[in-house]
């Protein structure tokens, strides 16, 4: 089965996809990723003793700001009027899991915004904790779910509904 690349014209030049004929639908995306870190880093994060301040508070704001800048960072993304953006964290013994949720009512999806938000949140944790230890690994950044649009709903590891 042949897959057409939507970001290229017939001559092979990069283009922004024309979404003018698409329907406006409510669209959501959730992306998640993990930063593996040692006990010292996790203790500083949970105890709010990192020299740069409240690591998760700053990482949350950084992730939300990144969501709003996605079209400036990813060359062929459309600028979107977002209706919601949130970044949340789960802490375990050796890791912090970040989860970014984005929503809009529009003609194109918010998957790239959610992936950008979670990536920048994790990078911010690294930046704020690298003085404690540089032995951190950012991993498993992926789209968890998406809803809305012509392609239907998606769940990681599941089947597409549409």
Catalytic residues: 127
Q: Give the integer Cα–Cα distance in Å for 142 and 117.
A: 11
Spell out the alpha helix ranges (H) of the chain.
39-47, 55-68, 70-73, 111-129
Task: Find, among 50, 51, 34, the residue nearest to 42 by Cα.
Answer: 50
Q: Give the integer Cα–Cα distance in Å for 95 and 67.
A: 23
Q: Give the integer Cα–Cα distance in Å for 96 and 119.
A: 13
Under 8 Å between Cβ of 14 and 75: yes
Q: Give the integer Cα–Cα distance in Å for 156 and 52.
A: 35
Q: Give the integer Cα–Cα distance in Å for 52 and 129.
A: 8
């Amino acid at each position: 089965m042949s897959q057409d690349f939507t970001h290229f014209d017939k001559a092979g030049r990069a283009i922004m996809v024309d979404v003018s004929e698409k329907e406006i639908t409510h669209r959501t995306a959730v992306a998640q990723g993990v930063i593996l870190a040692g006990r010292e880093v996790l203790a500083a994060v949970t105890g709010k003793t990192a020299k740069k301040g409240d690591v998760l508070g700053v990482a949350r704001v950084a992730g939300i700001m990144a969501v709003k800048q996605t079209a400036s960072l990813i060359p062929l993304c459309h600028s979107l009027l977002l209706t919601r953006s949130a970044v949340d964290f789960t802490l375990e013994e050796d890791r912090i899991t970040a989860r970014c949720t984005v929503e809009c009512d529009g003609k194109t999806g918010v998957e790239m915004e959610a992936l950008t938000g979670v990536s920048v949140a994790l990078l911010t944790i690294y930046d704020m904790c690298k003085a404690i230890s540089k032995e951190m690994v950012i991993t498993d950044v992926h789209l968890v779910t998406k809803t809305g649009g012509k392609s239907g709903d998606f769940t990681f590891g599941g089947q597409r509904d549409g």
